[in-house]
Structure formats: C-alpha cells, structure tokens
Amino acid sequence: MKSARILKPNEPLSFEEIETPKPQGEQILVRVSAAGVCHSDLHLWEGGYHGPQGTFMKAEDRGVKFPLIPGHEVAGKIESLGKDAHGFKRGDSVLVYPWVGEGSCPACKAGDENLCDKPKSLGVYQNGGYAEYIIVPSAKYLVKLNKLKESEAAPLACSGLTAYTAIKNSGAADGELLVIIGAGGLGMMAIQISKALAKPRVVVIDIDDKRLDEARKLGADFVVNSTKEDAVTAVKGLSEGLGADAVIDFVNSSKTSLSGISMLRRRGRLVLVGLFGGELQLNLALIPLRAFKIIGSYTGNYRDLVELVALAEKGAFKNVVSQTFKLNEANKALSELKGGRVLGRAIISP
C-alpha cells in the first residue's frame, strides 16, 4: 500500500510502498478515504513539544517510535475483518476512534482510553491514516457513519472530539459567558458545538480578522481581535466587570493562558487544550480566593465521539474542511498548516 511515513523528526515524510497489513483476531482493516491533518501531526513531525524555559519534550521520550505513519483523524470503508471481529461488515463506512489505550489502567477501565497511562493511540504510537489502509485493533474503536461523508467525519476524531470534550469540561451552561481563545479548526468546531449543547454567550478571541469573521458566521456572539484591543478588558466589559464563567484556550501559550485566567470571574473554569507550550506564572493566593478551576482537557473518550457523530449526522454543525491534499502532498499539507495558511481543516485523501 502507499504510505507517508515520518522516518526521522524534521525530515520530509517518506513516500513508500509498504506491505498492506492483514487483520488478525479482532483487528479490522479500513481503506482510508480521508485523514485529517492536525497540529499534533506537526508536533510529531517536529519530534515533540515546547516546554518551559526553552526546553523541548521529545516525542521519542514519551514512547513514540519512528518510522511512523501519522494521521489520527481517519474515516473510510471496511476492507476486511480478522476472524474474531464482529459487528461490522466489508464496505461499511466508518470513523476510527484513534485514542486507543492498553486496556487495563484505571482510565481504560472507566472507558477513558484517551487518558490511558500507557497510550497506544493510532497515528501516534501505532501507524495511522496517512496511507491507503489502516489497521484498527478492534471493532470497539469504530463508529458507523450513515449520511455523514467520510471527509466530513474524519476531523471529528480529534479536532471535533477535543472541542466537544473541552466544551463539556468547561461546564458552560445556558446564558453563561464562554470565551473561546483561538479561531482555528478546533475553535470553529467549539463555537458550533457549544451552541448545540447549551446556549452560552460565546466570545471568540483571535489575532486574525478573517478567522473572526468566520467565527461570527458560525455563531459567535462577540469577537475580539487581541492585537487591536485588550482581550481581558473586552471580556470584562461584556460581563459588568465580572469576567467570563468559562474560558477554553485552544492555543495555550504563556500569553493566552495568562490572559485566560485574568478574564475569569470568581468560580470560573479555565480549560487548557492547546499544545502551543510554554509556562504560566500564577498569583497563587488568587486561586483559592477566587476559587478558579484549571482543567486540562485532552481529546475525548469513545462515548463522546459516538455522541458527537450523532450530532453531526443531524447536521448540528457545518463542515469546516477547507482543503484536500493527495497522499503524496502530505509534506505540503503539513507545511501549509505550520504556516497558518489552513482556514478550518485540511484532509489528506489517498
């Protein structure tokens, strides 16, 4: 099968014909129709994440092994099933749940495999979807698609799910002021999901007017360009000086997280999602005095993905796929994303 692999960090992906895997036991082989291009793919490609004080957290130190086929937002059609795989048949249109765990830690037992102590996520720790086919360990990681197109479904597995779970973790209720920092793919998804789950007043903060216009079209009640006005002042101005009930930071840099915590009202919740990296200096006395909650939110569990797909099947939100690349254009797709030139979501379609 055709594949695009990371052989070494920071080197162009290698396009090679490799042996098509055969599904064993409970495994299922899926023919990839669409693989979303995600910022995490970029981090893998660059070999890790930026930590505090200029440090770098290497992906290989966290158990990632190269060569690796990246791509964790995968939808396609079932090609073949291992002899112990049940519940699906050849030709079924499916979305792959990629946040696979080892199965026995407390998180896995609670059904939160995305928070597993020893993750085995597809496209991160095991081969993913930048290829013609992907092996899925079990039918329990598949969500059947009905009306939804595979190209529209693919980004739900990561960006959609991350946005969905972040909204849930924010606890944003009807009438509350919810701030979304970052109007990229996740932010755009989050605006729509927040309106589908409850009726908060949504403020979107970004540094790009074009993105903010799009955010407005997708349902944002207020938008703030933080290069033109002070975001904290703007949010306080929308809440009689009190601040936001919840802030979801899809960037999560030193700058945005500090601004996020500064715009929270008493009892507010700050949900940190983005993996930009950096550090945050906190006024510790303020945390108990104002009873803030700081919540880390990472992807989501299988149940949430099933709920999210059901919402998407009902047409609760608009497709944000903006660009489609061929498999042999994977390097270009990653570079476009890195350069901030992708509005919405890019997918690779082998």
From the list 32-40, 75-83, 185-193, 338-346, the region that binds Zn ion by CB under 5 A is: 32-40
Residue 128 binds to Zn ion (criterion: CB under 5 A)? no
Q: How many whole angstroms separate alpha carbon 332 and alpha carbon 338?
A: 10
Q: What is the DSSP letter of 8?
A: S
| 228 C-beta neighbours (distance < 10 Å), count | 10
Smaller CB distance to Zn ion: residue 88 or 298? Answer: 298
Q: Which of the stretches 4-12, 40-48, 244-252, 333-341 binds Zn ion when contact is defined by CB under 5 A? A: 40-48
Asked if 105 is part of the footprint of Zn ion (rule: CB under 5 A), the reply reads: yes
Name which position in 156, 158, 172, 321 contacts Zn ion (CB under 5 A): 158
Tokens in use for 337?
């994303």
Q: Scan residues 217-276 and list those touching Zn ion (CB under 5 A).
A: none
The tokens of 232 are what? 């904290």
State which of residues 101, 137, 182, 184 lies at the interface with Zn ion (CB under 5 A). Answer: 101
102 binds Zn ion (CB under 5 A): yes
Length of the chain measured in residues: 350
CB of 252 within 8 A of CB of 226? no
Say whether residue 132 binds Zn ion (CB under 5 A). Answer: no
Measure the CA–CA gap between 175 and 263, rounded to whole angstroms.
17
Q: Is residue 165 involved in binding Zn ion (CB under 5 A)? A: no
- For 331, the token pair is 């390097």
| The one segment of 98-106, 145-153, 210-218, 232-240 that binds Zn ion by CB under 5 A | 98-106
Taking alpha carbons only, the member of 141, 138, 133 closest to residue 114 is 141
Stretch that binds Zn ion, among 114-122, 169-177, 197-205, 232-240 (CB under 5 A): 114-122
Start-to-end CA span in the chain (Å): 10
- Which of residues 38, 44, 218, 272 is near Zn ion by CB under 5 A? 38
Could you identify the residue written with the tokens 């999602």? 273
Minimum CB distance to Zn ion, residue 116 (Å):
3
Task: Give 30 or 108: the residue with its C-beta nearer to Zn ion.
Answer: 108
CA–CA–CA angle 28, 47, 190 (5° rounding): 65
**Positions in the binding site for Zn ion (CB under 5 A):** 38, 40, 101-102, 105, 108, 116, 158
